[in-house]
Amino acid sequence: MLHVSPFRRILVIALSGIGDTLIATPLIHELRVQFPEAEIDALVFWPGSRQILEGNPHLNTVHQHDFLSSSKRSTLGFLTALRRRKYDLSLNVHTLGRREYRYVARAISARRRLSHSYENQGWFDRWLVTDQIPQDYSVHSVVNNNRLLGLLGIKPQLPSHSYELYLSSDEEAFAEQFIQTESLEGQRLLGVHVGSGGTKNLALRRWPLDHYQRLFREAQLRIPGLHILLFGGPEEQAAHEQLARAIPNGLHLPRTPTLRKAAALVKRCDAFLSVDTVFMHLAAAVRVPRQLVIETPTVNPPILPLRNDWTLIPNPAVGGRNLDFYRYDGRPISGSREQIETIMRSVTVEMVLETLMKSMTGV
């Protein structure tokens, strides 16, 4: 039986990473099932997050605002406009641990404001939000998000939960056109994202570029017909160009004007390799047949790919101490630049190559 509720207007606040927005899509679907007549909106920070939610049938409106680069006057006007919408309910999704995210919820001032509680919270947060539930590092963020429903006295209704990305026929056609133009039909395609985000010090968790270069050379020698597609945005351009100079054949730099078109092309790959980034979640969302993830200090159960059939390449320097390095309290990865880079170098080319070979050839 559907829950009868006074919530006419609901706002899902997903202001952290683009991947976190994708992780929030099962909760958005749940809200639509629970409150079919409600007006359900989302608030995001990144343009890429807005793209993730394009075409989502469970949302009425997606509001996007860059709180960092916008002026205080612009931000105040934006929040005032949302406040005037008089939301009955707002939900800060996991992993919005920074207090600033709860300030945003308070400024919009929905009648009920739901959030997880984090290590950096104190008595003041009882004024910022009305209802809290402790986050749980042992379960996925999708589960953490669904547990917010318990604060409303309801339980999830969907029989299962998965990332929801609604690609258009034009986006699918873009990927098909690329495959045909590059004569890649029937070839073995490995998608790779060499980046790792640019906020805080998260870029330090990148696997070293010289490791990728050696991996690509060895993989092309051992896997017949292998073609490598490099994904990313402007922040990866220099790395892509360096790799292209070193690997002149079988390396492709697709120009994907939107994140959604990139996802459509990722969908055409036979395997995908990355650290924990938005592209890791996109690969899971489009069900790449083989997904490989290099462990970083920030890999915790809440942000693992939402699927069972994927492979983690363990990082011996992390050794299960992920929470010693990173928590969802707004702080960067613990350790100096040299320490974090050394941690990532501890994953050898041989380790990744062996896993890739088994995944793509069974040898």
Q: Show me where the domains of the chain are located.
A: 9-152, 169-361
CB 295 within 8 A of CB 317: no
Q: Residue 191: which of 225, 229, 241, 239 has the closest Cα? A: 229
Mean pLDDT within 50-69: 97
What CA–CA distance (Å, rounded) separates 72 from 306?
Answer: 37
Residue 3 pLDDT class (50, 70, 90 cuts): very low
Contact 235/195 with Cβ under 8 angstroms?
A: yes
Q: pTM to 2 decimals? A: 0.94
Dist CA 219 CA 356 (whole Å) = 8
pLDDT exceeds 80 at position 342 = yes
Q: How far apart are CA 16 and CA 240, in angstroms?
A: 26
The domain 9-152 having CATH identifier 3.60.10.10: the answer here is no
Given a cut of 80, whether residue 253 has pLDDT beyond it is yes
Average pLDDT taken over every residue of the chain:
95
CB 10 within 8 A of CB 31: yes
**What CATH number belongs to 169-361?**
3.40.50.2000
**Tokens 């997880």 label which residue?**
116
* pLDDT at residue 122 tops 90: no
Which tens digits make up the pLDDT trace of 193-251?
Answer: 999 877 889 999 999 999 999 999 999 999 999 999 999 999 999 999 999 999 999 99
Model confidence band, residue 308 (pLDDT cutoffs 50, 70, 90): very high
pLDDT value of residue 4: 52
Return the pLDDT at 1: 45
Topology match between the domains 9-152 and 169-361: yes
Cα–Cα distance measured from residue 133 to residue 115, given in angstroms and rounded to the nearest whole number? 7
Tell me what percent of the residues of the chain surpass a pLDDT of 70.
98
Contacts of 108-111 with CB under 8 Å at 24 or more apart are 108/11, 108/13, 108/43, 108/79, 108/82, 108/83, 109/83, 110/11, 111/87
